[in-house]
Structure 1
């Protein structure tokens, strides 16, 4: 069985992006002390130390849209071309989750075509919301219809929620706000029927699903209470959640993965490092915890299990 990992939750931070985001007011993104350092060389060194064969690169929060549609389209294109260039320069080591300039729907549709047809992207990365437009919003229906048509992999990533100025209580938003914004946005997808209308989407939910494993039955119950019978989706909320994929980014053990496995089967769990937003020492500790944990499937390790799952999701990434 394979002893290498495929990392579906890995971030890049090119200098030009940090400069533009900082100029747009994100010197302390999501309440963090500043931007982490990142370089291709450092990323590859961490991968080599820990047996990560391939990292699927995406942009994290605050994303690529800072208020101006035209500027967002230009930044998105530059980010996606840069990321695609890394996949060509380092064959097999990097993959691409393309950014989209949401909530600009026309710009997003244009970028989907370019990312898949010209750059050969492996999927797209979507924030849980952009400027208050959450993923179930009807305005995004053309985007999900096109991604469904392409049978796209959609990697979700949280950002600071609407109203964080009061809810975060002065603390960095990745600590708890990210976790609940993930649950909020996925619940919105369920309540608005996005996943049932677009069954070809293959969605990756980060951080072991955030709060979803413990909220799944509650969400399912409220869907039955709030939605008229003719609008209640089939399959139901819990069954839809079981059909999504979940990565292990963050402190997955000892508590989050066991909770996740009460919701989904092991074949829907993927490895994620969250580098470079998770500092190397923490990323290494998280990987060590995964390596020390017993796999839920006999004859496998967490490495071989999650890698096999990723290879089914990305057949072009099979070794």
Structure 2
């Protein structure tokens, strides 16, 4: 059984330097974690060490993406200057490790038109399979019309966009995620709750803003079992009678959105996702290196999953292969 993992992160020295220029104290928790923690060497590794970690976890192919916040907290000129070199560096790593690495494009969302052009280049020339973006760009939610050039390009290419969490904007962080000491505050605002809630809300805003009505063939991927919102679709349905959307909100999740575990190895959440959107909407992701995989952990999660063999194959590789096969190069 071939196993793809879709939320597998890296960073480059040039991006780290740009983050440090913008924020010398690395006040944003995820930048600090990426730049100066035990995961930093693994993020910088686009070679043998990463392949060895994949082998240990039982992952055949990793679809690599620049870690949050990517280029989305930089000014437009600097973000644009970095997007092509970052993608070229990743493309070189993919060429060095054919069959083991694939790529999601890094986009300069502060300059949406340039980001859309780079997405076309990354898919058409570099062979990438879409892009990964984080839930806000310079404090602007990605449902805003200024970002729709990116979605137009993605739909035209039939290339998926992986929507990854980002740290909530400063006012939200200050109001909701402070008061318990720096370490607890930072984790509350990011990897335990804050950024999942924020990413789920971003998807709801995209639906309500009409993104998927305007771009009905847009494919979005959500990690971490749907970023909280998947578990509230029955409640969210109360909005259906208040909008002029073409479909009930839950239907966008069943037609336009794919779900991954994003490193949360929960069969309980898998069962809920299967019941809510079906096996044809679920793919695998380990969130390397932020979740340290135990020996065989990725493969063990799927091998022990309470699903049919056909659904196991769908989640492990068939859904992704079918999605990639439909991309227009």
Distance 1:303 1:275, change over 3 A: farther
Aligned to 1:275, what secondary structure does the other structure show?
coil
Aligned to 1:147, what secondary structure does the other structure show?
helix
- CA shift at 1:293, angstroms? 2.2
- CA shift at 1:113, angstroms? 2.8
Question: C-alpha distance in 1, partners of 2:313/2:31?
Answer: 31
Distance 1:285 1:306, change over 3 A: closer
Is 1:165 aligned with 2:174?
Answer: yes
Is 1:123 aligned with 2:123?
Answer: no
Residue of structure 2 equivalent to 1:30: 29
For residue 202 of structure 1, the aligned residue among 219, 222, 234 is 219
Q: Which moved more, 1:265-274 or 1:194-203?
A: 194-203
- CA shift at 1:204, angstroms? 0.8
Alignment root-mean-square deviation, CA: 2.3
Residue of structure 2 equivalent to 1:143: 150
Residue of structure 2 equivalent to 1:308: 318
- CA shift at 1:127, angstroms? 1.0
Gaps of 5+ in 2: 179-184
Residue of structure 2 equivalent to 1:251: 264
Q: How does 1:71-220 map to 2 (within 5 A)?
A: 71-162=78-169, 163-169=172-178, 170-172=185-187, 173-220=190-237
- CA shift at 1:63, angstroms? 1.3
Q: Any idea what the Cα deviations from partners look like across 1:112-149, whole Å, max 9, x if unmatched?
A: 23212322221011111111221211112222122211
Q: Any idea what the Cα deviations from partners look like across 1:155-209, whole Å, max 9, x if unmatched?
A: 1101011222332232321210121012111101110111121122121111110
Question: C-alpha distance in 1, partners of 2:146/2:176?
Answer: 26
Residue of structure 1 equivalent to 2:278: 265
Q: Check whether the contact 1:204–1:247 (CA below 8 A) recurs between aligned residues.
A: yes
Q: Any idea what the Cα deviations from partners look like across 1:256-312, whole Å, max 9, x if unmatched?
A: 22222231011111010100222344x9656534432222x3x34735642111111
Distance 1:286 1:91, change over 3 A: closer
Question: C-alpha distance in 1, partners of 2:231/2:306?
Answer: 22
Q: Check whether the contact 2:9–2:65 (CA below 8 A) recurs between aligned residues.
A: yes
Q: Check whether the contact 2:279–2:314 (CA below 8 A) recurs between aligned residues.
A: no
Question: C-alpha distance in 1, partners of 2:76/2:273?
Answer: 37
Distance 1:255 1:29, change over 3 A: farther
Aligned to 1:56, what secondary structure does the other structure show?
strand
Q: Which moved more, 1:163-172 or 1:199-208?
A: 163-172
**TM-score, reference length from structure 2:** 0.85
Q: Check whether the contact 1:64–1:72 (CA below 8 A) recurs between aligned residues.
A: yes
Is 1:221 aligned with 2:238?
Answer: yes
**TM-score, reference length from structure 1:** 0.88
